[in-house]
Amino acid sequence: MDLLKRRIRNEGKIVGTDRITVDSFLNHQLDIALLMAIGKEIKRRFEPLGINKILTIDASCIAIAAITATYFDLVPVVCAQKTQSDTSTEDVYVAELKTFSDKTVDTAHIAKQCLNAKDRVLILDDVLAHGKTAMGLCSLVEQAGGTVCGITAIIEKEFQGGSTKLKQAGYLVDSLAVITRIENGEVYFKD
């Protein structure tokens, strides 16, 4: 998605050798026109898969997921919630996940009433790095007997291996801006 790559290249801030922040248009401040373009593009890529739910995780992705859902016949968006500890109860599905940024093992949970065996789910993540968050979200869908139709990230850092692991596990991964490397303050995209 060229528009997105251009924005990342021009406005993203590289942190260290493997992180990039996009606070000025995707996180801290949201460019709504860009979010709508992202939603349309995700719809174009995943349209044939009969998706009836979008699953994401709290904070940064929720706005993108909500806008994207307006292009998917208003399918519900479900937001898994991150917790520092195992919050397992009878009413929730729980999955372990380890985020790239904090290097600690978090868990994510979701109310059982929000997912079921008929669900055909698109998983949306803002940044796909090592893939632990996406893997955890897949686990939540599968605990409910649902189907993970695909995984999309706004930014995929391919060089950190998450997408490869997810593809090896049989998942369809199709991200909007795939970064192959970050070198000398420069971001390199696939294609």
Point out which residues bind a copy of itself (CB under 8 A): 23-24, 27-33, 35-36, 58-59, 62-67, 69-70, 74-79, 81, 110-111, 113-114
Backbone angles phi, psi at 69, to 5 degrees: -60, -25
Alpha carbon distance 14, 19 (integer Å): 6
Alpha carbon distance 159, 63 (integer Å): 26
What tokens does 20 get? 């990039």
Name, in order, each residue with C-beta under 8 angstroms of 48's C-beta and a sequence gap of 6 or more. none
Nearer to a copy of itself, 42 or 178 (CB): 42
Smallest gap from residue 120 Cβ to a copy of itself (A): 16
Nearer to a copy of itself, 30 or 49 (CB): 30
Smallest gap from residue 30 Cβ to a copy of itself (A): 4
Nearer to a copy of itself, 104 or 184 (CB): 104
Smallest gap from residue 183 Cβ to a copy of itself (A): 26
Smallest gap from residue 64 Cβ to a copy of itself (A): 8
CA 146 to chain centre: 18
Nearer to a copy of itself, 39 or 131 (CB): 39
Smallest gap from residue 106 Cβ to a copy of itself (A): 15
Nearer to a copy of itself, 65 or 149 (CB): 65
30: left (phi over 0), alpha (psi -120 to 50) or beta: beta
Residue 127's H or E segment, with its range, is strand 120-128
